[in-house]
């Protein structure tokens, strides 16, 4: 049997399998979230370019070659998490092409040793961006008066993004048909997400709010931009909203721009700052892990517990009575 170039089913002139093969390919593509597929494409492109510059074949790739590539990426400053994603993308591309991934080849031990060394040398402590909590966010909003359409969008993105503990990819891909107005605020429903890959669906609530007022700021943006369907957050060009959605990188740029305007160091903030800001503010306000999880949609409470501990470092401190 001749294997299809995409690693699924037989190839050749058997047209009776064309429809099932196309459907199988679609299901294979759907096994990864759109943001993950985009990241994998970039990672694979980086690897193939690196191989091309050295006259080496990228597919199938020798594990020792992949180890050299990852060492090169680490030497130029790529973080262990990104190194791991590069490796996952290479494996994914091999499986899609019907090849054995480097991690499963006989010399995979060399590759595993290099990856372990990269992680050990870089340290295991995660380098988080600063949380844009309620105090920081109010300063950001105050520094961005609604003087033009882009500022109105940025204010809505900051407030709504923090209020829903959105991942930046979720915020960038948010669509109007996910929103439902209620007397108390707004609900947002998700299909396939990072923590719900099977697409069972989950809805979260965004309260009206009294200080940050995320729902009012979102509605102001939708009205000003004339948006009634499709992407919620869009680029603004020459004072007009475009048709397509923003990218997740735009989310990070908006946060950093607002941080700079409010007098903070923009390098300390990023797209994750809004999600971290909700968790930090919620933990500080005494919200339980389960209430935080209702909004953040984490699979595990371990990450949430870390936010609770950090928010309460000085609360009921053991040395309060004698220091």
Q: Per-residue pLDDT tens for 271-280?
A: 889 998 898 8
Mean pLDDT of 267-294: 86
Of residues 13 and 107, more confidently modeled? 107
Residue 28's pLDDT is 62
Binning pLDDT at 50, 70 and 90, where does residue 148 land?
Answer: very high
DSSP letters, 73-103, are: HHHTT--HHHHHHHHHHHHHHHHHTT---GG
3-state secondary structure of 236: strand
Residue appearing with tokens 């494996």: 91
Q: Of 194, 139, 140, which Cα lies nearest the Cα of 165?
A: 194
Q: Per-residue pLDDT tens for 7-61?
A: 445 445 555 676 766 666 666 665 566 667 788 889 999 999 999 998 998 889 9
CA distance 201 to 45: 32
Q: Per-residue pLDDT tens for 149-181?
A: 999 999 999 999 999 999 888 999 999 999 999
Residue appearing with tokens 């409470």: 301
Long-range contacts of 32-35 (CB under 8 A, 24+ apart): 32/92, 33/169, 33/192, 33/193, 33/194, 33/197, 34/169, 34/173, 35/169, 35/173, 35/248
Which DSSP symbol is given to 287? Answer: -
- The residues that bridge with 231 in the sheet, in sequence order, are 175
pLDDT value at 259 more than 80: yes
Average pLDDT along the chain: 82
CA distance 106 to 80: 24
Q: What percent of the chain has pLDDT over 90?
A: 38
Binning pLDDT at 50, 70 and 90, where does residue 251 land?
Answer: very high
Residue 139's pLDDT is 94
Residue 123's pLDDT is 61
Q: What percent of the chain has pLDDT over 70?
A: 77
Mean pLDDT of 197-217: 82
Binning pLDDT at 50, 70 and 90, where does residue 3 land?
Answer: very low
Residue 8's pLDDT is 47
pTM value is 0.62
DSSP letters, 50-70, are: HHHHTT---SS--HHHHHHHH
Q: What is the 3-state composition of the chain as percent helix, strand, coil, each rounded to the nearest 5?
A: 55, 10, 35
Binning pLDDT at 50, 70 and 90, where does residue 5 land?
Answer: very low
The residue length of the chain stands at: 323
């Amino acid at each position: 049997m001749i294997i299809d170039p995409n690693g699924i089913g037989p190839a050749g002139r058997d047209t009776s399998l064309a429809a099932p093969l196309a459907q199988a390919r679609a299901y294979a593509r759907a096994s990864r979230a759109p943001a993950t597929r985009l990241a994998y494409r970039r990672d694979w492109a980086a690897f193939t370019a690196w191989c091309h510059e050295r006259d080496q074949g990228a597919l199938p790739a020798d594990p020792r070659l992949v180890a050299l590539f990852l060492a090169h990426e680490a030497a130029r400053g790529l973080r262990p998490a990104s190194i791991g994603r590069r490796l996952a993308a290479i494996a994914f591309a091999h499986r899609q092409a019907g090849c054995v991934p480097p991690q499963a080849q006989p010399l995979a031990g060399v590759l595993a040793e290099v990856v372990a060394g990269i992680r050990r040398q870089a340290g295991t402590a995660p380098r988080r961006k600063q949380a844009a909590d309620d105090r920081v966010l109010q300063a950001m909003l105050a520094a961005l008066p609604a003087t033009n359409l882009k500022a109105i969008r940025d204010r809505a993105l900051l407030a709504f993004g923090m209020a829903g503990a959105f991942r930046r990819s979720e915020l960038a891909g948010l669509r109007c048909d996910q929103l439902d107005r209620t007397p108390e605020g707004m609900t947002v429903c998700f299909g396939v997400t990072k923590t719900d890959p099977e697409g069972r669906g989950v809805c979260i609530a965004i309260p009206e709010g009294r200080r940050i007022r995320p729902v009012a700021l979102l509605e102001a943006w939708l009205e000003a931009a004339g948006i009634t369907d499709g992407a919620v957050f869009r680029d603004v060009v020459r004072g007009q909203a475009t048709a397509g959605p923003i990218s997740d990188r735009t989310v990070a740029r908006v946060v950093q721009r607002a941080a700079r305007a409010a007098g903070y160091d923009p390098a300390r903030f990023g797209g994750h700052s809004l999600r971290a800001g909700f968790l930090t503010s919620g933990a500080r306000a005494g919200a339980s892990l389960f209430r935080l999880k209702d909004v953040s949609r984490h699979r595990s409470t371990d990450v949430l517990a870390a936010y609770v501990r950090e928010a309460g470092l000085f609360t009921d401190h053991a040395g309060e009575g004698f220091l």
